[in-house]
Amino acid sequence: MRFSKDIEKIALKIINGERISSDDCLKLLEHNNLSEMFYLANIIREKRYGSFTTFSVNRHINYSNICQNKCLFCAFRKEENSKEARRLSIDSILKIVDEIRNYPYLEIHITGGLDPNFSFDDALTLVKKIKEIKKEAIIKAFTMVELDYFAKTSGLKDVEVLKRLKEAGISSFPGGGAEIFSPRIRKKICPLKIDGKRWLELSKKAHKLGIPTNATMLYGVGETEKEIVQHLDKLRSLQDETSGFMSFIPLLFQKENTPLKKLREVALAEQLKLYAVSRIFLDNIPHIKNHWVMSGLKAAEIYQWCGVDDLEGTVFEERIGHEGGAKTPIGMTKEAIEKIIKAANRIPVERDGLYNRVKKIGAA
C-alpha cells in the first residue's frame, strides 16, 4: 500500500513493529485518509489475534445510582431523595447472581455511584457472598473512583482497601471513571470527581498487587485531539511500568438527559479513526474493546476491522448508557453477539473475565 506523504514515515514504523511517538499519534488523529489508518491498525490486530474476536458472557449490576459526584455527563446518577433513586440491597443482588449461577464462565461487573449508604464493608460482604454462591465467578467490580471513596470513607490506606477486596474475591477492576484526563475538560464535566492523576495512582497500586484492570476514555465531551493523545500517553506510560491493563475501552458520550446535550455529534468516521489510532498507539495494552452499548451494533461490526479484537459481553442489564439515550439493547444473548462478530467476517471466541479463552481452538 502506498501511504500519503505526511504519514509515510509513521506508517513504516508501524509496519516494522516500532513504537510511535505522541507527535506521530497526533498526526494520525489529524490525518484524513481512513483506509490507511484502518489498514495499519488491522495489521497489528491480525498479527495478535488473527480473525478471532473475543467476548464474555457477563452481567452488569449497578448497586446504586445515588452519587455524590455530580458529573454533568452522567444521566445515570440521581439525588438520594429523587423518585428514580435506586439502591439495591445486598440480598437483591445475590438473588440476581443466584438466577445466573449455572452459567459456566461468568463475569460479574459491579459498579455504582458514590453512595454514602453503601459502605466499604458492604462492598466486601457483597463480593464474599457472591463467591459463596458461585466460587468460580470472575468478579470485576468498583472503579478507581469508588475505590478512592472506599479509602476515604473507611479511613483505610489504598493498599489495604485493594488487598481486602482481593482477599474477598475480586478478580479485576473495571475501567470506568477515567473519563478524559484533561484537567480543562474535567473542570467542565466532572469537577468533583478525582483527577486523572489519582485514577492512575490507584490503577498503579492495583497492578502492583497483581490485580488487573481496564482503562476507558470518555470522548465526545469537547476534548481536542491533543487531549486524546495526552490521555492515551498517560495510559501507555503506566502500562510500561506495570503491564496491569487488560483492555482499553473508548466510551462514546451519550448526551440525552444531560446538560451537555449541545455538544457536537462525533462523526462515525472520527469514532472509527479513534479506535484505529488507539490500537496503533497503545502497543502495550493487549486488547481494544468495543462497548457496543455506546457505539451501536452496526458500528460494532466495522470496529473489528479498525483494531478492535474484543466486544463487550452480554451485559444484561445496562443502565448507564441507556439513561443517556443509548438506542442499543440493554443486553444481548451470546448468540446475538456471535452474530455481530460473524457478520464482520470474524470468528467469535468466548472468553472468561480474565481473557482466557473458554474453548481451546488453536493459536490465533
Contact footprint for ligand V47 (CB under 6 A):
73-76, 143, 174-177, 179, 214, 216, 218, 249, 251, 253-254, 291, 294, 312, 320-321, 324
Cell of 223: 476534548
E strand or H helix at 116: none
Which one, of 224, 149, 150, lies nearest residue 183 by Cα?
A: 224
74 or 202: whose CB is closer to ligand V47? 74
- DSSP bridge partners of 347: 52
CB 353 → ligand V47: shortest distance, Å?
Answer: 9
The DSSP code for 220 is S
Contact 138, 164 (CB under 8 A): no
As a whole number of angstroms, the distance between CA 208 and CA 33 comes to: 40
Q: Which residues, listed in sequence order, are joined to residue 217 by a DSSP beta bridge?
A: 250
In angstroms, the CA 2 to CA 339 distance is 34
Is omega for the bond preceding 256 within 30 degrees of 0, making it cis? no
CB of 246 to ligand V47, least distance (A): 8
**CB-based contact 122:150 (threshold 8 Å):** no
Residue with smallest beta-carbon separation from ligand V47? 176
CA distance 205 to 209: 6
- Nearer to ligand V47 by Cβ, of 31 and 287: the residue is 287
Residue whose CB is less far from ligand V47, 36 or 323 = 323
Nearer to ligand V47, 175 or 348 (CB): 175
User: To the nearest whole angstrom, how small is the minimum distance from the Cβ of residue 7 to ligand V47?
Assistant: 30
Nearer to ligand V47, 43 or 66 (CB): 66
At 326, the amino acid letter reads A
Is the Cβ of residue 174 or residue 244 nearer to ligand V47 in the bound state?
174
31 or 351, CB closer to ligand V47? 351
Count of C-beta atoms within a 10 Å radius of residue 279: 28
Question: Measured from the CB of residue 218, what is the shortest distance to ligand V47 in angstroms?
Answer: 5
Cα–Cα distance for residue pair 285/302, rounded to 1 Å = 21
Q: How far is the CB of 241 from ligand V47 (least distance, A)?
A: 20
Nearer to ligand V47, 124 or 249 (CB): 249
Distance CA 299, CA 311 (A): 11
**CB-based contact 57:28 (threshold 8 Å):** no
**Least distance between ligand V47 and beta carbon 40 (Å):** 25
- Nearest approach in angstroms of CB 294 to ligand V47 is 5
Q: Could you tell me the smallest distance in angstroms from the CB atom of residue 256 to ligand V47?
A: 8
Least distance (Å) between residue 102 CB and ligand V47: 23
Question: Residue 75 carries which side chain, given as an amino acid letter?
Answer: A
Please say which residue, 3 or 73, places its beta carbon nearer to ligand V47.
73
* CA atoms of 315 and 337, how far apart (whole Å): 11
CB of 240: closest distance to ligand V47 in angstroms?
20
φ, ψ of residue 150 in degrees (nearest 5):
-60, -40
Nearer to ligand V47, 52 or 219 (CB): 219
Nearest alpha carbon to residue 74 among 253, 215, 291, 263 = 253
Residue 221 · residue 186 · CB < 8 Å = no
